[in-house]
Amino acid sequence: MSDRTAERLLRALYSAVLYVLTPITVYHLIWRGFRYPEYFQRWNERYGSYGTPGGAVDVWLHAVSVGEVNAAAPVVDALLKRHRGLRVLVTTITPTGSQRVQALWGGRVLHVYSPYDLPGAVARFLSHYPPRLALIMETELWPSLLFGCHDRKVPVYILNARLSARSLRGYSVLRPLIARTLRTVRKVAAQSGDDAARFVQLGALPTQVRDVGNLKFDIPVPDNVREVVHGFRQHLSGGRRVWIAASTHEDEEAPVLALHARLRRRWPDLLLLWAPRHPERFPRAAAAARETGWTVGTRRADRWPSAGDDVFVLDTLGELMAFYACADVAFVGGSLQAIGGHNMLEPAAVGTPAVTGPHLHNFSEISRRLKEADALVIAPDAAGVGDAIETLLADDARRQQMADRGRALVEHGRGALARTLAMIAPHLPAPVA
């Protein structure tokens, strides 16, 4: 059997399985919709149907959700600045990602949900918004999408590409198909040498893969950080200590409340800033804190914490970095359970020492570098997280040392953006002087 014939058979089998499973996508949207009503909206986009005019786009960038959108922000900002009139389409999968796109760029970019990886939906999407260049963020290896671009001779780059050992094992089940999918891509711009090696293991050619560094190191510090910190401190009594639990998941809520109770025994006026990972959990986290007996304020309703608040829930999007800067110590969630962690460069960039749990496979390289620089404490469990936070809250000099080293590491790691832009430059119009 020829390689071309094998490819066609694999694609046909993959497509047949997806079509059989299509009812499950509807069930998923309904199930998610009961938790997050925005999932009931814009179903047509998920199946490649549009009620608005389309047209060719210069750049199509796909980012799954908030984290990927934030990582892509420096790229999109640079493209819009350098190439006046560039038509950019940004797709996401989640409503929170959609909200983040709209918050960052508004009408400066086009935005729809990415279609499910059904050949028909993909074909309709690529016909409605035919791209001249496709940029896929991190680890979105959807065969129908990538083969569809290849069939239409659209150059595809995977940017800030990461592949954990766990993801490698998962993809390896479909390696015959995924390897062929990867070989349709012009370049895989990997976050690290380890990520690059794993993409080669999965089937990419060594010539396709390049270690360009992690775009997350090029993280822009929001312009309003000083303003938010000033406003926050104005509403806080002098000397009151603050810790933040950020990007926490459902099974981390009880440990967060238990840690706060523990820490309050030593610092009775300690304030917890709490930013759950998913918006549907904002009210649930606030309710859980109230059920514990705490006085709870929220960013949306109260704007700033009051003197009587024990917990202040950050129930808005796009403000996390600014509130990291308001805290003395940060706990970065998704790390006490097998989620794989979340971006601990954000607190580092604004000078807040951070503590995480042990599950960091999504940020293995970043966490390793932060730990080696003595800018991050990785605890073995929830009790260890509490020990680390208590130690740091009690030691001003240690916190400052970690803050300085974290900032320095972020600054030293910058550069992936420039290398990424240079890589895709041949497919773009000449920059505007």
Which is it for strands 376-378 and 354-356: parallel, antiparallel or unpaired? parallel
Residue 45 neighbours by CB distance under 10 Å = 21
Amino acid at 264: R
Question: What is the rounded CA–CA span in Å between residue 344 and residue 367?
Answer: 7
Does one domain contain both 133 and 269?
no
The enclosing domain of 97 has a CATH number of: 3.40.50.11720
Cα(285)–Cα(299) distance, integer angstroms: 13
Split into its structural domains, the chain has a count of 2
Query: Residue 429: CB partners within 8 Å, gap ≥ 6?
Result: 58, 83, 86
Q: Side chain identity at 355, as an amino acid letter?
A: V
User: Are residues 385 and 268 part of one domain?
Assistant: yes
Domain range spanning residue 341?
225-413
Q: Using CA atoms of 194, 249, 255, 366 in order, give the dihedral in degrees to the nearest 10.
A: 20
**Contact 318/335 with Cβ under 8 angstroms?**
no
- 319 and 393 inside one domain: yes
Please, which residues bridge with residue 32 across strands?
Answer: none
Statement to judge: residues 422 and 332 lie in one domain: no
In three-state form (DSSP H/G/I as H, E/B as E, the rest C), the secondary structure along 151-188 is HCCCCEEEEEECCCHHHHHHHHCCHHHHHHHHCCCCEE
Just list the catalytic residues: 68
Same domain, 161 and 246: no
Question: Considering the domain boundaries, does residue 220 fall inside one?
Answer: no
Indicate whether 242 and 174 sit together in one domain: no
Q: Each residue's pLDDT tens digit in the chain (433 positions)? A: 677 777 788 888 888 888 888 888 888 889 888 887 888 899 999 999 998 889 999 999 999 988 899 889 999 999 999 998 899 999 999 998 998 899 899 999 999 999 999 999 999 999 999 999 999 999 888 999 999 999 999 999 999 999 988 888 888 888 888 999 999 999 999 998 999 999 999 999 999 999 999 998 988 888 899 999 999 999 988 789 999 999 999 999 999 999 999 999 999 999 999 999 988 899 999 999 999 999 999 999 999 999 999 999 999 988 999 999 999 999 999 999 988 899 999 999 999 999 999 999 878 888 999 999 999 999 999 999 999 999 999 999 999 999 999 999 999 889 999 999 999 999 998 776 5
For residues 136 and 247, state if they share a domain: no
Does 273 reside within a domain?
yes
- Give CA–CA dist 390/329, Å, rounded: 9
The two structure tokens encoding residue 82: 């350098």
Which one, of 33, 36, 137, lies nearest residue 90 by Cα? 137
CA distances from 428 to 31, 134, 155, 420, 421 (A): 41, 11, 11, 13, 10
Query: How far, in Å, CA of 364 to CA of 139, rounded?
Result: 15
